């Protein structure tokens, strides 16, 4: 398909471009309870195309761009039409001119993982076993599940001479746990791994089954006011995303943050909790612009060490163009997960909705299930909401010594936050 697109670009005098060809081979299996219901194999290919147009306006040089995608079924006439429309649109985009990524050519890189060393059948068999390992109760069980094992072959070609490619495997899916009595409730969960994380999946399912069972007997949340809270798994990831956003070149260029290299990004107060040390990890060998991705320090003991992000914003900030990172590693803390749960307050395991707004530093969520420790006993509770500010809690933030591994983070399994506003029932 790339040759067809290059021909259309040439025919329309488009001399600056970027192509990203992605071929996805997926094996998908669907279960109803423990019975295999459907198995499907799918192969798709899509080429994402960016065309650029250089122009000058009022003495200022610009490099406009526009994007479109191409599927194998498209005719040459359709591709030609898309190129014409995109090139015209690029002429209205007033991005100040900047230098694109330099030439780099590479043989196909095969990203190493345990998934790449197995057959799809073997990998799925192990993950299915892990999913159902702790599903042993007739009253609380997994009522449906889906697995998606993917092999992605990516190639990037640009007018500047970039021609790189790689192959990467991944496995993800989702499942729903159900408890029938005393109240019929369901809990949705998903997972996404770069490796065969059987033990992590088995533990995640065990936790989901427990929270589903406890949700059916939970009482109204009695907490109103300030309270210490524990956030595990995906909720810990959401809050910690605030720190990777601190390294993002776009946020800094747009003025949302004013952090300079060497600044403390964990607040200006004395830190009594754990200091954040965050490394930027490449989830792909090359960025979408064709920049070679390397592991880099992002934050060290709360201090900003590097910017990362889209090429354009790195150029505008006049910092090294290292690419945009979607995966990171955060060093563990010294407080165990079990000790966190023993503290007086709320250990919140499930929100009906949870959001972290990095720009204003606020996090909020509606509690579906939590465990309230009043100092003498621990009971499951439901209802109410959390509304907190990272600026108020980051100096005393504690990170668990236990860890979690997903496609986006290698980091603490949970975080402990002091004096967060909780509105109960």
Mean pLDDT computed over 74-84: 95
Q: Does residue 359 surpass a pLDDT of 80? A: yes
Q: Does residue 425 surpass a pLDDT of 90? A: no
Mean pLDDT computed over 274-289: 95
Is the bond preceding 203 in cis, omega lying within 30 degrees of 0? no
Residues 373-392: tens digit of each pLDDT: 999 999 999 999 999 999 99
Q: Does residue 165 surpass a pLDDT of 90? A: yes
**Residue 90 CB partners (closer than 8 Å, separation 6+):** 51, 52, 53, 64, 65, 66
d(CA 21, CA 305): 33
| Residue written as token pair 């890189």 | 109
Q: What is the pLDDT of residue 258?
A: 85
Say which DSSP state 184 is in. -
Residues 100-131: tens digit of each pLDDT: 999 999 999 999 999 999 999 999 999 999 99
Alpha-carbon Rg of the chain, whole angstroms? Answer: 24
Q: How confident is the model at residue 298 (pLDDT cuts 50, 70, 90)?
A: very high
Average pLDDT score, the chain: 95
Q: What is the pLDDT of residue 214?
A: 96
Mean pLDDT computed over 10-20: 96
Q: How confident is the model at residue 12 (pLDDT cuts 50, 70, 90)?
A: very high
Residues 37-68: tens digit of each pLDDT: 999 999 999 999 999 999 999 999 999 999 99
Q: How confident is the model at residue 268 (pLDDT cuts 50, 70, 90)?
A: confident
Q: What is the pLDDT of residue 259?
A: 87
Q: Does residue 269 surpass a pLDDT of 80? A: no
Burial of 409 (0-12, 13-18, 19+ CB in 10 A): buried
Q: Does residue 297 surpass a pLDDT of 80? A: yes
Torsion over CA of 175, 180, 186 and 192, rounded to 10 degrees? -20
Q: Give first-to-last CA distance, the chain, whole Å.
A: 58
Q: How confident is the model at residue 345 (pLDDT cuts 50, 70, 90)?
A: very high
Domains observed in the chain: 2-212 (3.30.2290.10), 218-425 (no CATH)
Kindly report which listed range (81-85, 406-410, 411-415) carries the lowest average pLDDT score: 406-410
**Residue 28 CB partners (closer than 8 Å, separation 6+):** 38, 39, 40, 41, 42, 146, 147, 148, 149
């Amino acid at each position: 398909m790339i040759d067809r697109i290059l021909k259309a670009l040439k025919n329309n005098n488009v001399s600056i471009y970027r192509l990203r060809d992605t071929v996805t081979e997926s094996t998908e299996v669907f279960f109803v309870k423990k019975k295999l219901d459907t198995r499907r194999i799918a192969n798709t290919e899509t080429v994402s195309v960016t065309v650029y147009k250089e122009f000058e306006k009022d003495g200022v040089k610009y490099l406009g761009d526009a994007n479109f995608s191409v599927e194998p079924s498209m005719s040459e006439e359709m591709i030609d039409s898309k190129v014409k429309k995109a090139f015209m649109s690029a002429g209205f985009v007033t991005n100040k001119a900047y230098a694109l990524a330099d030439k780099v050519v590479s043989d196909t890189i095969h990203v190493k993982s345990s998934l790449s060393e197995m057959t799809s059948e073997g990998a799925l068999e192990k993950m299915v076993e892990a999913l159902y390992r702790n599903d042993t109760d007739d009253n609380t069980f997994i009522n449906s599940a889906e697995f998606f094992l993917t092999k992605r072959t990516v190639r990037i070609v640009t007018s500047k001479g970039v021609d790189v490619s790689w192959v990467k495997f991944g496995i993800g899916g989702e499942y729903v746990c159900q408890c029938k009595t005393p109240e019929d409730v369901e809990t949705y969960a998903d997972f996404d791994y770069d490796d065969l994380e059987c033990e992590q999946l088995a533990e995640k399912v065990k936790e989901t089954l427990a929270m589903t069972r406890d949700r059916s007997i939970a009482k109204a949340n009695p907490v109103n006011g300030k309270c210490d809270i524990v956030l595990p798994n995906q909720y810990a990831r959401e809050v910690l995303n605030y720190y990777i956003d601190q390294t993002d070149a776009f946020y800094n260029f747009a003025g949302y943050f004013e952090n300079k290299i060497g600044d403390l990004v964990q607040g200006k107060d004395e830190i009594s909790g754990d200091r954040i040390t965050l490394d930027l990890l490449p989830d792909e060998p090359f960025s979408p612009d064709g920049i070679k991705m390397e592991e880099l320090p992002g934050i060290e003991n709360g201090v900003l060490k590097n910017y990362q992000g889209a090429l354009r914003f790195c150029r505008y900030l006049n910092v090294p163009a290292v690419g945009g990172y979607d995966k990171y590693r955060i060093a563990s803390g010294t407080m165990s997960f079990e000790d966190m749960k023993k503290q007086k307050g709320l250990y919140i395991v499930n929100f009906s909705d949870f959001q972290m707004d990095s720009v204003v530093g606020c996090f909020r969520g509606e509690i579906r299930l939590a465990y309230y420790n009043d100092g003498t006993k621990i009971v499951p509770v439901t209802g109410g909401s959390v509304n907190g500010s990272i600026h108020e809690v980051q100096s005393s933030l504690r990170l668990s010594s236990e860890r979690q591994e997903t496609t986006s983070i290698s980091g603490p399994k949970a975080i402990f936050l002091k004096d967060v506003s909780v509105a109960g029932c």
